[in-house]
Amino acid sequence: MTLVTIHIATGTVGLVTFWIPVGGRKGGANHRRFGRIFINTLLATGITAVGIATTTLLDPLATHPHLVEHAVFSDPLMVRAIFGWLMLYLATLTVNLAWHGRLALRHRKNHRATGTRTNNLLQIALLVASTTCLMQGYWVQQPMMMGLSVVGFATVATNYWFIFKPEPNPYDFIKEHIKSLVGAGISVYTAFFAFGAVRLMPELALTPGLWAVPLITGLTLIIYHQYAVTRKYQMRSVVAK
């Protein structure tokens, strides 16, 4: 119960503060202040989600007693898959992106320094979590789980692409920062929409549209802000010439 309470509290703060850095003036005092709050709360949210998912994997029906008589989730295998393995995957994805996004900004002058031991361990953890999500989705015949696992594989690939990029542009760290933290925020929103309605309507956790809306919104925000950053620095370069 303690884990759930902390998870809900930090997740709520993260959901609200997400929009202040995204919608506000970049680099300003509010952006930095609420950005730090956002990252820290997301790390706490992700870590507590790991604990919640682990308890579900150990004892699925005792952790979710309200699902005992549900048509689909009375099967412990399904509870473990959706509220155990899938939640564990999303939690790992959230922590990975939040931490990587923080490092991209901290090591703006040396992108290789982003490849710390902790960050490398997080890439391995996400790779394992993504593979497990893919396999578990196949075993319970849930295409949604298999599809979402692709995000994790793509995250590891793009994180390493940034870390080992031979000659990054001077603004690449900003684009990586945006990708990671917007991605982390959308990961939390996805879990909120999907798992938050479990007690009222558990079947919503299996509704593709509920997972697609945050994902599409996040990708749109990432593409827009990365384009804006690229355009801004390219115009500066033209003016300087």
pLDDT at 92 over 90: yes
**Tokens for 13?**
């703060």
pLDDT of 199? 57
Give the long-range contacts of residues 116-122, CB within 8 A, separation 24 or more. Answer: 119/159, 119/163, 122/92, 122/95, 122/96
Could you write out the DSSP letters of every residue in the chain?
-HHHHHHHHHHHHHHHHTHHHHHS-TTSHHHHHHHHHHHHHHHHHHHHHHHHHHHHHHSHHHH-GGGTT-TTTTSHHHHIIIIIIIHHHHHHHHHHHHHHHHHHHHTTT-GGGG--HHHHHHHHHHHHHHHHHHHHHHHTT-HHHHHHHHHHHHHHHHHHHHHT-SS--TTHHHHHHHHHHHHHHHHHHHHHHHHHTTTT-GGGGG-HHHHHHHHHHHHHHHHHHHHHHHHHHHHHHHHH-
Q: Which residue has the higher pLDDT, 167 or 120?
A: 120
Can you state the angle between helices 143-163 and 208-240, rounded to 10 degrees? 20
pLDDT category at 241 given cuts 50, 70, 90 is low
* Mean pLDDT over the full length of the chain: 85
Q: Compute the radius of gyration of the chain from its Cα atoms.
A: 19
pLDDT tens digits, residue range 16-32?
888 888 877 777 788 88
pLDDT category at 126 given cuts 50, 70, 90 is very high
pLDDT category at 155 given cuts 50, 70, 90 is very high
pLDDT tens digits, residue range 46-84?
999 999 899 989 988 777 766 666 666 677 788 888 889
Report, as an integer, the average pLDDT of 200-221: 74
In this structure, how many other beta carbons lie within 10 angstroms of the beta carbon of residue 146? 15
Report, as an integer, the average pLDDT of 233-240: 66
